[in-house]
Chain A
């Protein structure tokens, strides 16, 4: 008999009413005093304020209006607000790096406001270009999709993850476009010719 570890609990879709549990105001009611993930970086946290807008499109090119996205990112010095980051004690109070947003029920657009992350330590002393980690759930997505968003105005050529994307033109699916000063656009294509690179982390 091969050695067996207990299996992970299997994933299931978040369904169309995911907002009830994770952003109840979007479902149309209030119950919690604070909803989580609404302030990734409080006022006064050092760093450049940025806004990201985007859509999540299905295989027919239609924006989906019931997706929920979670954003996890480092601070302007590339530090995560997490006990396993050795520089966690230097992270400014008021910085969580955790954001939660949804695609609008009418327009399908999501918006994130936070600060721009710095260069993040990577494996084997290879720095990682600034990026946001993004996790997407929705009706019709059986297991949450991980991806990253990189910035068009940064040095991305030596990033270890982008370097692993074999089809060179697909690297662009992970890089946002600039739409103004400190404003970016990032569309996520679930399927089709412009399909975003999704990760098995």
Chain B
């Protein structure tokens, strides 16, 4: 079966060079990307199964020590679809984030806010048959970083997503509805179109909350669509 993917819209994604996010200045290629037709090398990619995951991998409140982390107890859930609206089943999602005070558990993070002894800050899960996933965590705090002298990240959760192949590979960040730091965040604003940033902002989902336990936010993810090749160009070997 032939499968190729929709062209990525690189005017919708952030460009490589975004000088307000200063680190991009020396880390952005100057020359154009080489556009290549998809071969087996691009439409394939790693696959994962539940066998590789542990039972608490999706529960950041408890997966570090087994004791409960401190913070605003939060469910993050949603679906992974492609641009044709089809669910992406068996997609691996990996998430990482700071704790409720904006401190990362990383040897290179020197922020003065303390680590939470019961919070690691990472989790992972696979989407089900309908492309659905969920995590449980604490809402991360805002985080200062050296861009301008007084730059702060909006509260955010990093997401890494493996779709069906390397063509769909994506890393992004999820933000929370109503965050007042949005306008000054140089990283969120590497995305040129406000409508595209809106897509990274998860709305509060009160109907999915657990009363007297956890709030919920809804974050749906769209990966590249697969093309129907009707006339020609069958991939050799595929």
Contacts and interface: CB of A to CB of B under 8 A. Distances in A.
Given A21-B122, A85-B237, A72 B166 contact: yes
Contact of B166 (A59, A64, A201): A201
Contacts of B160: 14, 21-22
Interface string A24-68: 100111011110110000000000000000000011101010100
Identify whether the interface residues of B are mostly helix, strand, loop, or mixed. Answer: loop
A195 B25 CA distance: 14
Given A31-B120, A105-B108, A120-B41, A10 B83 contact: no
Interface residues of B, number: 92
A5 B6 CA distance: 10
Interface stretch (B67-75, B210-218, B219-227): B219-227
A84 B122 contact: no
A199 interface: yes
B122 A20 contact: yes
A28 B83 contact: no
Interface in B101-138: 104-109, 120-124
Contact of B46 (A37, A60, A165, A196): A37
A41 B14 CA distance: 35
A32 B58 CA distance: 11
A32 B124 contact: yes
Contacts of A144: 169-171
B144 interface: no
Interface residues on chain A, size class: 35 or more
A164 B34 contact: yes
Contacts of A197: 31, 34
Given A21-B122, A200-B34, A121 B26 contact: no
Contact of A200 (B1, B10, B84, B237): B10
B48 interface: yes
Given A17-B106, A72-B166, A142-B190, A6 B85 contact: yes
B41 A12 contact: no
B83 A6 contact: yes
A32 B57 contact: yes
Identify whether the interface residues of A are mostly helix, strand, loop, or mixed. Answer: loop
A191 B200 contact: no
Contacts of B105: 20, 27-29
Interface stretch (A107-115, A129-137, A176-184): A129-137
B42 A10 contact: no
B236 A10 contact: no
A146 interface: yes
A86 interface: yes
Interface in A132-162: 133, 135, 137-146, 148, 160-161
Given A8-B222, A11-B172, A201-B42, 15 more contacts: A7-B222, A10-B172, A13-B187, A17-B108, A20-B121, A29-B105, A36-B48, A36-B92, A72-B46, A84-B238, A124-B233, A133-B41, A140-B28, A144-B170, A201-B38
20 contacts: A7-B196, A9-B172, A9-B200, A10-B199, A15-B173, A16-B108, A18-B171, A32-B122, A80-B41, A83-B47, A84-B3, A86-B238, A123-B39, A140-B27, A142-B13, A142-B18, A164-B34, A164-B36, A190-B26, A197-B34
The 10 tightest CB contacts between A and B, nearest first, are A21-B96, A140-B23, A121-B237, A82-B44, A98-B46, A140-B27, A142-B14, A200-B33, A59-B26, A28-B107
